[in-house]
Amino acid sequence: MVRSGLLPPTSPELCEEDARPYFLWWTDVTVGEFRQLLRSSDVEERAYWLGALLREANTRDVWLFVEPAQIRAVWPHLLRHLGRTRSRWAFLLGLPEPQWPPAEAV
């Protein structure tokens, strides 16, 4: 399902539950399984897979899987999984520039 007003997915396979998403190149997970992982009750598991999406996928494909509010909801758990994309996502979501490493880790 593609929401109106958004660019189409970079690959039509991203709309097929049994397809393997290009951005999860290191693991054997289908689109359907990935959607379930993004709904995990474990916030750390959810943050790991969301981080993979934000770090590896084309930005326009991100919105096929999550809403901005879902990203903001796990932001503190997500930061360590974003790598060099931290600042970009903070900017896109209107969040403060993240300090990395966190002050408490220094």
The per-residue DSSP string of 36-58 comes to HHTT-S-HHHHHHHHHHHHHHS-
Q: Which domain holds residue 71?
A: 18-105
The pTM assigned to this predicted structure is 0.90
What is the structure's pLDDT at 105? 67
Q: How far is CA 80 from CA 30, 33, 51, 104, in A?
A: 24, 23, 8, 13
24, two tokens: 């999860």
pLDDT at 106: 60
Q: What is the pLDDT of residue 7?
A: 84
Joined tokens for residue 79: 């930061």
Cα 42 from Cα 99, distance rounded (Å)? 24
Let me know if residue 3 belongs to a domain: no
pLDDT reported for residue 4: 61
Report the number of distinct structural domains present in the chain: 1
pLDDT in tens, the chain (106 residues): 445 677 899 999 999 999 999 999 999 999 999 999 999 999 999 999 999 999 999 999 999 999 999 999 999 999 999 999 999 999 999 999 998 888 776 6
- Determine, yes or no, domain membership for 31: yes
